Structures are given as structure tokens and as C-alpha cells.
Chain A
Amino acid sequence: MKLSFSPEDEQFRVEVAQWLQQNLTGEFEKLKFRGGPGDEHMFPHERQRWEQKLAEGGWTCIGWPQECGGRGCSIEQQVIFNEEYARAGAPGRAGHIGEGLAGPTIIAFGSDAQKQKYLPGIVAGTELWCQGYSEPGAGSDLANVKTRARFDEAKGKWLINGQKVWTSLAHESDYCFVIARTDPDSVAHKGLGFFLVKMAQPGVEVRGIQQITGTSEFNEVFFDNAECDAEDIVGEPGDGWKVAMGLLGFERGVSTLGQQMQFQNELNAVIREARANGADHNPVIRQRIARAHAELKIMRYNSMRMLSGQGGSDGSLQKEALIYKLFWATWHRSLGELAMDVLGPDSQILEDGPYQLTRLQSMYLFVRSDTIYGGTNEIQRNIIAERGLGMPKEPKVAVQ
């Protein structure tokens, strides 16, 4: 075990910090501390320009292999990058779905042609991605997708029909990765395909979903004979579930590091409010702040431990990764509650009409979705019990 960084890594830290200091200025100044979870509707175009600025400096996809356009950074360097990025208050990454999910999936499971076609746009920050998994009837039961993909011999293309829902940032995206049923007679996780679908086409319609925050980051996406080129299926028809599960592994990997720094910024904001309004003298609030701090540290340690072990190269998870979603989501929800209790009655007053939330109110409402999306707390507990502890699965009801 070694819990310090090498001199080379510390030099890398200086390099990152300097670049951010020199470039997060001018038109990007207003993006500081913006665009994180619950705030992703803010400044989408400016944030995409920032994405391209990062790309110019070689700061996108830093963990990807160099032959895929990445920087080939070590885990330590990725940790450092994320720390410095958050410390500088650099904005939520508009390209995070491409960099963190679509790209790694294409690198692990995609063809050479797919790598050449899609990776450069992600690295350059010019092409944004969204994730077409959930459907009205396939939430926790993700394998119950009804969206169909049929290969049209005459056109030589896949035709996709169905509906996805809760698709974050679909309205800003150029591409969507979609799980759809390639075998119409199949059930559950068999007979699925994983498709790379262009959003700007007549067969794709995006409708925003208004959230309790009054804003819209999520969407419904309707596919009506949407076309997908024959070569844009990842793996073979029937491999969709395997690819999708591999991707979920990436979701719980390095991307957690940036998230924790975001959490740290939020906790700092809560502490600032407590100091400003005197809530920091309340012993109950003090205890809860201390607990929040201690638990955030635990998350950070657990991530380091998880990443040092590295898991399977296909994105499969180790035991300590299984507990992470449940832990961070519940922690974040409690942070929202703490923020409102620190603010007291002021917590109920909007920044402005008609429905402009303060940052902490927005955080409080948004964290309600944390324990739901990406596998609810209840599903996480099932996973921990069944895969982590080896407890017996509930008998499945026969699906007609």
C-alpha cells in the first residue's frame, strides 16, 4: 500500500492546475461551479465550447488509451485531474456520457470501423451522446425492453421502433446508444442488440420531461422507423445485454472521482451557509456536518481502493464497487436534507419567480433522483444481497 503520489504525479498536478487557471477565463468564467447534476440544463452551448477547449489542451478522455485518441493517463493521474478540475470550479462535463460510457463501450466491444467513426468526435468534444436504456415498461426491470430493431434487407439498415424515457440530455445529443430487441420472440435479456443511433433524423423525436425542479434534463425519445446503419450495431444481434452490462461497469469506475469532488464543493457550500446564518452553533447540525464529511471521506477511500484493484477489463465489478451506488446516492440525499435544515425557513423561498431555485434548493430536489436512477436503492440492495452475499434470488414470475 502506498497512499501518496510520486513526484512525477505532483508535477502533473501542477500542469493541470496551470492549464485550468489559464483557460477557465473569459467566456468560460461564468461556467465556474455550473452544469453539475441538477444544473445540466445551464449553458449547454457554452459548456460544449468548453469541452472543445479541453480537447485542444488534450484534457478530454485522458484515461483512454493513446491509440484511441486518449492521453493514456494512469489512475493516479486521473484522480489528480479530477481533483484539480473540481478545485478550479470547472463546469460539469457536457461530454461525460460519451467519454465515460459510450467511448469505453466502443473501445471494449466495438469494431475498428466504429472506433474510427465515433471516438474522434468524443475526444474533440464535437459530438455528444445520450443513453437509451430505460423505457416506460423497463425501469428497474431493464431487460424488459420493448423497443424493436428489425433489419430491413432492401435498405440495408436497421429500423428501430419504440420509446425510451429518462434520457438525460437527449435534446443536446448527436448520438444515442440504444438497446433494442433484435429477436421479436425473445424475452428478458436474450435477443437484444446494442445500437449507435444518430439523433438528427426524421424517425427520432425528443420530448422534454419537466422535473420537480421545474427544469428539464431528462427526455422521452420516440423511435419511429429510425434508421441505423448495418455496421452500427455493437457486437452481434443478441449481444446487447452483455454490452449494456459492461457499460454499467464503466459508469461506476473512474467517473466517480469527479463526482466526489463535486460533492465536496456542495458540502463546502452547506458549511458556508451554516457559518453565515449561525446554524453551525447548533449541536445537532454540527454532528450532521461532521458525519457528512466523514462519510464523503469513506467514499473517496473506497473509490481509491476499488480503482487500485481495477476489476475486470470488461468492466465487471468487484465487491466494493457493488456498494458504491447505494452509499453515494443515500449520502447525497442526506446532504440535501442537511442543506435545507441548515437554511431553516429560508430553504422554502425561491431565488426568484416564477420558479427559479437557489443552487442548494436545486441540489435538494435533484438528489431525490439519485436514489432512483441508475438502479434504485432497492435494486442495489438486491444486487448486494444476491451478487455480493450470494443470497438466493427471489423466484421469478414466468414472463408471458
Chain B
Amino acid sequence: MDFTFTEDQLLFCDSVKNFLQAEITPESLRASWDTDTGRSDELWQTIVELGLTAMLVPEAQGGLGMNELDFILLAQECGRVALAEALVETALVATPLLSALVDKDPRCASLLEKIASGEIRVAVGHPANELVSDAHVADWLLLPSGDQIHLLARDQVKLVTQHSVDPSRRLFTVEWKATDETCLAGGPEGVQLLAASLNRGALGCAAQLVGLAEAMVSLTVDYTADRHQFGKAIGTNQALKHHMANCAVKSEFAKAPLYRAAYTLSKAPQNADFAVSHAKVAAGEAALLAAKNAIQSFGAMGYTWECDLHIFMKRAWALDKFWGHTGFHKNRLHQWLMNPNAKIGADKTFGIQG
């Protein structure tokens, strides 16, 4: 048994982390709030050139043929910088969904090739969310209707903007019509694909939430070292140290279920419900506590628009409610645990589920 990442996975993550931290700054995010799309085509092309959109695309379609476990650390880094571009959903949700249908419908293979090469972007709708994020910059949309999954070009749908509390997010209600031609899958297969998408979306959120939690703690630790009251740095006060210590414990402890969930999704996705919900709940709690304790430690500064903290807090509050809110995922945990056939016990720690 080995619960660690490989040297290659860690090295790749480091290089992507460096890239993201150089390119995505609070200043660049703020500048994007005032633009029409809130997104940068140039940035997306750089992301494509780094191979990030191709990671989970099968090799046959020009991708790298990697899996969720290879991507999970990168998703965490996307959260750490509060990346607004929909990289995590593209890699973790759209790509695996299209890959699952690649033998069935020739359109999927073509789309995958173009995602890998950066020619197109694909947005994903799901009943768990009601709204579709980044639909305005997508060339194609994967949309659910009952047990079916449909593929529509952007000019086949009408987008209604829904303004978000997080100024970086771009959310839309999509008005569209399902036809036989747009349908990619349905019936039991559609149900199974939608369930898998929910798990992948929730996993991506959980990873970003852990990154956001750590980013907020890091900002706060720096601030409390600089800010002086009563003749000393406020970070010397136990009250504030304890706030940050509690956050550190939560986010560090959220990583184990997060990586566990990524592993299960890559090896046995049909059994991943419990692991994913566990990760989403733990990561959400870590991020929400970090937001609460960070703004508290920043004092009044943290409550201002000028202070960068709200960029991260608002993203955390938003992602906590996306791809299934905490209540939804807690219920999934309860339901699984109360099942008389649940495989629980010390010897089942790394079993199929649990």
C-alpha cells in the first residue's frame, strides 16, 4: 500500500503551481471583473500549451491519457489562486464524460481532440447545479434532460446571465430544446454518466476548496505578522494563533479523503459516491472555517472590497454550494452508512467503499 504521489506527479504539480501563481494574481482577477467575458483567451491558450486541457483526454484523441489522481493536485492549485477559467470542470467533468461516449458517437472523439488542442471549449450542465458556469465562452455545451445527455452548439441555446456573489464567476441559465439529434446518451447509461459527472464535479470543487483554504490561511498568517496592536504583531496572540491552527488541522485532514476520492474515481468510479461526498464535506468545512477565521483575524480590513481576502472567501462560499451542497453530501454519507450491507470496519479502510 502506498498513499503518496509519485515523483512525476509532484514535479508536474510544482511547475503548474509556479505558472499559476505567476499568471493569476488578485490584480489580474480584479481586472477580469470589469471585462465583458471575465475570461482571457490568451490565458486559456497558455493553459492548453501546458497540456492541462489534454491531461484526461485519451491518447487516441491526442491527449495524455491520464486520470483523476494525476489531476487532483493541479485542481488544488487552481483553487489556491482562485483561477476563474473553467479548467477544473473541463478536465475533470467534460473530458471524462466525452471519453465515456467516444466509441458510441463520433462527435465525441472530434470534440476531445479539439479540447486537447485548444480549438474549442465545452461547458457542462448538471441537475445538481441548475446553472451552467462559463457557458458564454464555451463552443459546445453538454446538457442534461431527464436521464439524457445532450450536446448543443452555443448558437443552439439561449444564455441568461445570473450574476454571482463571487464577481469572478460567470453563471448562466440555459434555455434550449432537446431533439433526437442532440442526444448523446440516455436511459440507464445516461443516469450512470450523470452520476459519474456529479462525483467528478464534486471532486473538483473539493480540491479547489482545499487550495482556497490554504490560500486564506497563508494570507492571514502574513497579515497577522505585519499588523501591530498593543505594541506587537497581532499574530503573537494565542487567540489568533488558535484560529489559524484550527484551520490548518481542518485543511490538512481534508486532503486525505480528497486524495482517497480521486483514487477511487480513477480506479472504480462506480463505487466512488461515499469517498467523494466525504471529500466534499471535509473540504467545504475546511474552506468555510478558513474564510470565517481569516476575515476575523484580518479585522475590519478583511471586510473591505480593497482587501484581497474576499476574492478567496467568495469563491469558497460559492464552491461549497456547487456540485451538491454540504447537506446533499452529508445525506449521501448517512444513507451509505445506514445501509445494512455497508462495508465498515477497521479492515475495510481501503475497501471498495468507506
A binding-site residues for B, Cβ under 8 Å: 134, 137-141, 144, 165-166, 209-212, 214, 218, 282, 284-285, 333, 337, 340-341, 344-345, 347-350, 352-357, 361, 365, 368-369, 371-373, 376-378, 381-382, 396-400
Contact = CB atoms under 8 A, between A and B. Distances in A.
Given A212-B305, A345-B321, A382-B239, A140 B166 contact: no
A337 B169 CA distance: 20
Contacts of B249: none
Contacts, number: 117
Contacts of A396: 230-231
Contacts of B288: 337
Contacts of B321: 340, 344-345, 347-348
B232 interface: yes
A138 to B, nearest CB: 8
A344 B230 CA distance: 41
A134 B305 contact: no
A397 B327 contact: no
Contacts of A357: 165
Contacts of A140: 229-230, 234, 299
A348 B168 CA distance: 12
A184 B130 CA distance: 62
Interface string B294-305: 011001101111
Contacts of B306: 209-210
Contacts of A282: 327
Contacts of A356: 163
Task: Kindly name the residue among B237, B288, B305 whose own CB sees the greatest number of chain A CB atoms within 10 A.
Answer: B305
Interface string B225-255: 0001111101001011000000000000000
B10 to A, nearest CB: 33
A114 to B, nearest CB: 30
B171 interface: yes
Contact of A350 (B129, B164, B295, B322): B164
B57 interface: no
A144 B163 contact: no
Interface in B326-350: 326-327, 330
A196 B67 CA distance: 68
Contacts of B169: 348
A124 B39 CA distance: 53
B115 to A, nearest CB: 26
Given A137-B229, A345-B325, 17 more contacts: A141-B231, A144-B230, A210-B305, A218-B300, A285-B327, A341-B327, A345-B322, A348-B164, A348-B317, A348-B318, A350-B163, A368-B295, A377-B296, A378-B240, A382-B239, A397-B230, A397-B231
B231 A350 contact: no
Nearest to B296: A371
B326 to A, nearest CB: 7
Nearest to B323: A345
B237 A378 contact: yes
A365 B317 CA distance: 11
B163 A349 contact: yes
A365 B167 CA distance: 14
8 contacts: A341-B325, A348-B317, A350-B164, A357-B165, A368-B302, A372-B295, A372-B300, A399-B231
Given A353-B163, A357-B165, A211 B327 contact: no
Interface in B45-88: none
Task: Kindly name the residue among B228, B296, B302, B322 whose own CB sees the greatest number of chain A CB atoms within 10 A.
Answer: B296
B310 interface: yes
A244 B62 CA distance: 71
B327 A284 contact: yes
B162 A349 contact: yes
B111 interface: no
A345 B201 CA distance: 15
Contacts of B326: 341
Contacts of B231: 141, 396-400
A352 B239 CA distance: 39
- Lowest 10 CB-CB distances: which A-B pairs, in order? A378-B239, A141-B229, A210-B305, A350-B163, A397-B231, A353-B163, A212-B310, A141-B230, A369-B303, A399-B231
A141 B236 CA distance: 14
A396 B237 CA distance: 12
Contacts of B234: 140
Contacts of B230: 140-141, 144, 396-397
Contact of B229 (A139, A354, A355): A139
A148 to B, nearest CB: 19
B317 A134 contact: no
B161 interface: yes
Interface string B258-296: 000000000000000000000000000000100010011
B131 interface: yes
A353 B303 contact: no
Contacts of A355: 163, 167
A373 B299 CA distance: 8
A134 B300 contact: yes
B330 A352 contact: no
A295 B161 CA distance: 39
Nearest to B321: A345
Contacts of A382: 239
A344 B303 contact: no
Contacts of B314: 212
A344 B326 CA distance: 9
Contacts of A344: 321, 325, 327
A358 B164 CA distance: 11
B296 A376 contact: yes
A284 B164 contact: no
A372 B131 contact: no
Contacts of B171: 348-349
A337 B295 CA distance: 14
